Amino acid sequence: MANSAQARKRSRQAEVTRQHNASLKSALRTAVKKVRKSIAAGDKTAAAAQFQVSQAVIDRIADKKIVHKNTASRTKSRLAQAIKALA
């Protein structure tokens, strides 16, 4: 347990940051799920449109270092590959 005032404040700040980061990660996962849902439906144009929206979300969260840039890049690559594979 934090004993000094400074440590108590840092504990409060860390909790706020943790909640904010968790919210951003959740938004990332939701964006990816929306694209995967469009891919599963088999609609290439809808999947591509959803991918454009999700790509911005993924990049924004990677820029804030919530997830590593390579993780974001890999995710986008796999989604793009799945969309391209649709007939």
| pLDDT, one tens digit for every residue, the chain (87 residues) | 778 999 999 999 999 999 999 999 999 999 999 999 999 999 999 999 999 999 999 999 999 999 999 999 999 999 999 999 997
Q: What is the pTM of this model?
A: 0.85
**Distance of alpha carbon 22 from alpha carbon 9, whole angstroms:** 20
Residue 68 in contact with residue 21, Cβ under 8 Å?
no
**Count of domains observed in the chain:** 1
Domain span at 22: 5-85
Tell me the CATH number at 74: 1.20.58.110
Query: Cβ distance 6 to 43 under 8 Å?
Result: no
